[in-house]
Amino acid sequence: MKVFLRQLRPATLVAVVFTVICGLVYPMAATAIGQVAFNDKANGSLITKDGVVVGSELIGQNFTAAKYFHPRPSAAGAGYDGGASSGSNYGPTNPDFLAAVAERVTAYREENGLSDTTLVPVDAVTASGSGLDPHISIANARLQIARVAQARNLTVEQVGTLVDQNTDGRDFGFLGEPGVNVVELNLALDALGS
88 lies in the same domain as 36: no
Q: How many domains does the chain have?
A: 2
92 lies in the same domain as 151: yes
| pLDDT tens column, 94-112 | 999 999 999 999 999 999 9
6 lies in the same domain as 65: no
Q: What is the pTM of this model?
A: 0.78
91 lies in the same domain as 138: yes
C-alpha to C-alpha distances, 184 to 31, 71, 162, nearest whole angstrom: 27, 12, 10
25 lies in the same domain as 85: no
36 lies in the same domain as 50: no
161/60 Cα distance (integer angstroms): 21
CA dihedral 126, 132, 134, 136 (to 10 degrees): -10
Range of the domain at 131: 45-192
The share of the chain scoring above pLDDT 90, in percent, equals 55
Angle in degrees, CA 80, 57, 135, rounded to 5: 65
Contact 186, 144 (CB under 8 A): no
49 lies in the same domain as 28: no
